Structures are given as C-alpha cells and as structure tokens.
Amino acid sequence: MLTAEVIDVVGGLIAHVKTYAATLPSVVHLKAMSSGVKPSVEAIDNYEVIVSRAQRQSAGTPYKGLNESLICSLETFEQGNLIGTVQVLLAVIDQLERMHRDQEIDVRPMDEKRLMEYRVALRKVLPGNRPELAETGGGL
C-alpha cells in the first residue's frame, strides 16, 4: 500500500462524512432529536467497504497502525456521531503527518497538500463552523 492510496482512503471517508453532514439540519434541538440522525444504511455500507479494503491492503505495511483508528471512525459514523467521526479522521491525518516527520513513510509534496486540504474540509464539516471565524483557533 502506497501513501497516495492511504490518502485516497481518507479522502473517500471524508466524502462520506461531508455527504452525511449535508443531510443534517443546521440547528439540532437535542430534546427533539436526542438519538441523533444516523447515516443511511447504504452510506454506512460504503464507508465500511473503504475501511475493510484499507485493512486488507495495509497488512504488513507501516499503515497497519491506522486500522484501529479507521475502525473507530466507522463505529462513530454508524452511530451518526459526526463530531466523533471528524475527530478520529483528524487524528488519522495527524498520525500520517507524524509518520512522515519520523520518516516511517514517504509523502510527496502533492500528497502533503491533499492532507492539508482534507484537514480543512473536516474542520468545515464541524458544527459551528463559520467563515468569519476561519482565522481563529489556529493554535490548537
């Protein structure tokens, strides 16, 4: 499994997260929707296919350490936990960047750019994201 393929996996999962986020109302009253709105069965199945394929292909590679996080992202996605799913996928990106920094994997400049774009896309999905606050919170 190559770094670009792992980044493709992350991108595929983010696409499902963005699609799911688009189905949610902009304001959710917890009393009215205490159990949340879950993704469709088809969306969950497609997400699971991506995670399963990544697990099979990462065996014996430096990327096998991502499997637990990918499974966790699947579980949170199945529950309709948007924030939890985003947090796990951001942690996967962090782990890939750490692996690159520690020279465990090679990341091309084009792939670094994709990781940065994916991080931005995930942050935009988070509830409460407002363009006028885009320049704040960079010290996390």
- Measured CA to CA, the distance from residue 49 to residue 45 in angstroms comes to 6
Tell me the per-residue pLDDT of 53-89, one tens digit each, with 9 for 90 and over: 999 999 999 999 999 999 999 999 999 999 999 999 9
Q: What is the DSSP letter of 136?
A: S
pLDDT of res. 128: 67
Rounded-to-5 percentages of helix, strand, coil across the chain: 70, 0, 30
Q: Residue 111 in contact with residue 3, Cβ under 8 Å?
A: yes
Q: SS3 of 122, please? A: helix
pLDDT of res. 137: 45
- Segments of the chain scoring below 70 in pLDDT: 26-36, 127-140
